C-alpha cells in the first residue's frame, strides 16, 4: 500500500493499493466514515459498466458494509462537463433526500471527479465526497487538490469551487482497462509533475520500457501526487505557487476548446508543454534547455504532436482562460528539468510567445534527438 496524506483545508489520505475497490470499507473506516449513511456513486456510462454495477466489487463491498446505496450515471466526455449535468445530479440528490451527513463517490476519470466534486461543494452548501479515480490521468492530477468545476461555452473549467475530498482511493487494477491513448494522458501529467518538482520522475519515465507496467506507473503516480501535495499545501487556493501546476495548461485548454474537445486533456498538455518549453529555450528564459528532454519523451511514447491551429487562434482561445489577470497572463516556464518558475507577461505579447514556440517546435521535428 502507498499512502500519502494531504493536509489542506481538510486532511485526507490518498491510498494506492491493488484490491482497494473491494477493500474500501476498511479504508473509509480508517478515515472516520461510518456505515449507515447514504452513498451516491457518480459515474459515467463506461465506468459504471466496468466498476459501478451492483454485481461489481465496489458496490458489493459498500452495500455489504451497511451503506444505503444510490447511483447517478451520466454520458461520458467533455460535452457532459456542464452546468446541466450538475443540475441533474443536484436534483437527484434532493429527490432522494440526501442530507449533509450523506456522501458522494466520484467513480471515474477527471470529468466524473470534477463534476462530483462541484456538486458536493454546492449541494446543501457542502457535503463530503470520495474520489475513486479510474484513469492514470485522474490519479496523477485531478483527483487530488480539491479543484472542481465544469466548462462554459467560453472555455474550460470556468465555473467551479475548491472542495477537498475526504479520501482518494486508487486501485491499479483499473489501469488494465485503459487504452494506450488514455494511458498517454496520464503520462503527460506525470511528465508535467516531474518538470515542476521532481527530476527523478523524468529519469524514471525515460527508463520505462512499457506503458502497460501498472506497478511502475503506480509508483510514478505516487511521485506525481507527492509533488502536487507539496504545492497544494503551500497554496491551496491557487493564488501563488500552485499556478506551477499549470505548466502547459494555458495552451492545452486552448487546444482542447479549438478541437471541440476531440483532443484529450493529456494530449493537449503534451502539446502545450513542448510549445512553451521551446519558446522559453529560444528566448533564453530557461537556465538549461528543456524542450529537447520533453520532446524526446513525448516522441518515444508516440504522442501525436501535430495540430491545425495557428498562434493567433491559440492566443484568442487562451485569452478566455481563467489565468488572465487584467491585461496580464502568468506562464509557467521550465528553469531546469525538475524546476519551473512563474513569469507574467502582457497579454499582447502572448501571440508572439506562442508563435516563437511553434517555430522552434518545427525545428525540433526536423532534428534527430
Asked if residue 205 lies in contact with residue 297, where contact means CB atoms within 8 angstroms, the answer is yes
**Buried/exposed 53-72: b ≥16 CB within 10 Å, e otherwise:** eeebbbbebbeebebeebbb
**What's the pLDDT at 17?**
96
Confidence of residue 366 (pLDDT cuts 50, 70, 90): low
Tell me which H or E stretch contains 2: strand 2-7
Phi/psi for 274 (5° steps) reads -75, -35
| % of the chain at pLDDT higher than 90 | 87
**What's the pLDDT at 106?**
98
- What average pLDDT does this structure show over 15-41? 95
Asked if residue 233 lies in contact with residue 11, where contact means CB atoms within 8 angstroms, the answer is no
Query: In this predicted model, what pLDDT tens digit does every residue of 233-275 receive, in sequence order?
Result: 999 998 899 999 999 999 999 999 999 999 999 999 999 999 9
Nearest one of 11, 14, 17, 68 to 41, comparing CA atoms: 68
**What's the pLDDT at 54?**
94
pLDDT > 60? residue 368: no
pLDDT > 90? residue 22: yes
On average, the pLDDT of the chain sits at: 94
pLDDT > 90? residue 219: yes
Query: In this predicted model, what pLDDT tens digit does every residue of 162-211 receive, in sequence order?
Result: 999 999 999 999 999 999 999 999 999 999 999 999 999 999 998 877 77
Residues 6 or more apart whose CB falls under 8 angstroms from that of 83 comprise 150, 152, 159
Q: Which CATH number is associated with domain 2-177?
A: 3.40.50.1970
- What average pLDDT does this structure show over 120-135? 98
- What average pLDDT does this structure show over 328-352? 95
**What's the pLDDT at 80?**
96
pLDDT > 60? residue 16: yes
Of 45-59, 128-142, 302-316, where does mean pLDDT reach its minimum? 302-316
pLDDT > 80? residue 324: no
**What's the pLDDT at 121?**
98
Nearest one of 64, 15, 74, 59 to 35, comparing CA atoms: 64
Query: In this predicted model, what pLDDT tens digit does every residue of 72-116 receive, in sequence order?
Result: 999 999 999 999 999 999 999 999 999 999 999 999 999 999 999
**What's the pLDDT at 208?**
79
**Cα distance between residue 184 and residue 300, in whole Å:** 11
**What's the pLDDT at 138?**
97
Nearest one of 75, 223, 215, 69 to 140, comparing CA atoms: 223
| % of the chain at pLDDT higher than 70 | 98
Beta bridge partners of 152: 155
Q: Residues in the chain, how many?
A: 369
For the chain, domain boundaries:
2-177, 180-365
pLDDT > 90? residue 325: no
CA count, 13 A, side-chain hemisphere, 256: 28
Confidence of residue 154 (pLDDT cuts 50, 70, 90): confident
pLDDT > 80? residue 367: no
CATH topology of domain 180-365: Dehydroquinate synthase-like, alpha domain (1.20.1090)
Q: Which residue has the cell 501535495?
A: 229
Asked if residue 46 lies in contact with residue 80, where contact means CB atoms within 8 angstroms, the answer is no
pLDDT > 60? residue 339: yes
Burial of 262 (0-12, 13-18, 19+ CB in 10 A): exposed
Q: What is the largest CA-CA distance in the chain?
A: 62
- What average pLDDT does this structure show over 298-326? 86
**Cα distance between residue 28 and residue 15, in whole Å:** 11
Looking only at the bridges linking them, the beta strands covering 328-336 and 324-325 are antiparallel
Amino acid at each position: 500500500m502507498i499512502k500519502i496524506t494531504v493536509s489542506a483545508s481538510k486532511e485526507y489520505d490518498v491510498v494506492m493499493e491493488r484490491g482497494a475497490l473491494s477493500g474500501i470499507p476498511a479504508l473509509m473506516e480508517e478515515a472516520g466514515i461510518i456505515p449507515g449513511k447514504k452513498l451516491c456513486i457518480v459515474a459515467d456510462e463506461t465506468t459504471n459498466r466496468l466498476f459501478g454495477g451492483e454485481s461489481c466489487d465496489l458496490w458489493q463491498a459498500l452495500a455489504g458494509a451497511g451503506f444505503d446505496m444510490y447511483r447517478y450515471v451520466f454520458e461520458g466526455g467533455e460535452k457532459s462537463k456542464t452546468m446541466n449535468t450538475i443540475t441533474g445530479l443536484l436534483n437527484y440528490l434532493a429527490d432522494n433526500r440526501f442530507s449533509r451527513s450523506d456522501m458522494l463517490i466520484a467513480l471515474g476519470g477527471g470529468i466524473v471527479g470534477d463534476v462530483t466534486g462541484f456538486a458536493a461543494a454546492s449541494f446543501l452548501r457542502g457535503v463530503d465526497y470520495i474520489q475513486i479515480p479510474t484513469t492514470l490521468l485522474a490519479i496523477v492530477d485531478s483527483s487530488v487538490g480539491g479543484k472542481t468545476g465544469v466548462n462554459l461555452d467560453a472555455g474550460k473549467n470556468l465555473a467551479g469551487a475548491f472542495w477537498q475530498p475526504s479520501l482518494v482511493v486508487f486501485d491499479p487494477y483499473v489501469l488494465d482497462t485503459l487504452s494506450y491513448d488514455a494511458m498517454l494522458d496520464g503520462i503527460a501529467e506525470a511528465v508535467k509533475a516531474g518538470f515542476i518538482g521532481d527530476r527523478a520522475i523524468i529519469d524514471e519515465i525515460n527508463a520505462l520500457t512499457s506503458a502497460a507496467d501498472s506497478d511502475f506507473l503506480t509508483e510514478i503516480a505516487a511521485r506525481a501526487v507527492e509533488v502536487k501535495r507539496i504545492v497544494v499545501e503551500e497554496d491551496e487556493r491557487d493564488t501563488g505557487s500552485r499556478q506551477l501546476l499549470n505548466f502547459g495548461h494555458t495552451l492545452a485548454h486552448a487546444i482542447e476548446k479549438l478541437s471541440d474537445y476531440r483532443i484529450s486533456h493529456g494530449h493537449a498538455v503534451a502539446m502545450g508543454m513542448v510549445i512553451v518549453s521551446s519558446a522559453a529555450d529560444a528566448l533564453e528564459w530557461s537556465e538549461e534547455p528543456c524542450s529537447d528532454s520533453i520532446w524526446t519523451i513525448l516522441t518515444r511514447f508516440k504522442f501525436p504532436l501535430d495540430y491545425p491551429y495557428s498562434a493567433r487562434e491559440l492566443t484568442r482561445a487562451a485569452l478566455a482562460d481563467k489565468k488572465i489577470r487584467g491585461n496580464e497572463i502568468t506562464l509557467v516556464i521550465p528553469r531546469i528539468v525538475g524546476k519551473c518558475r512563474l513569469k507574467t507577461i502582457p497579454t499582447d505579447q502572448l501571440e508572439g510567445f506562442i508563435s516563437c514556440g511553434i517555430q522552434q517546435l518545427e525545428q525540433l521535428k526536423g532534428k534527430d534527438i
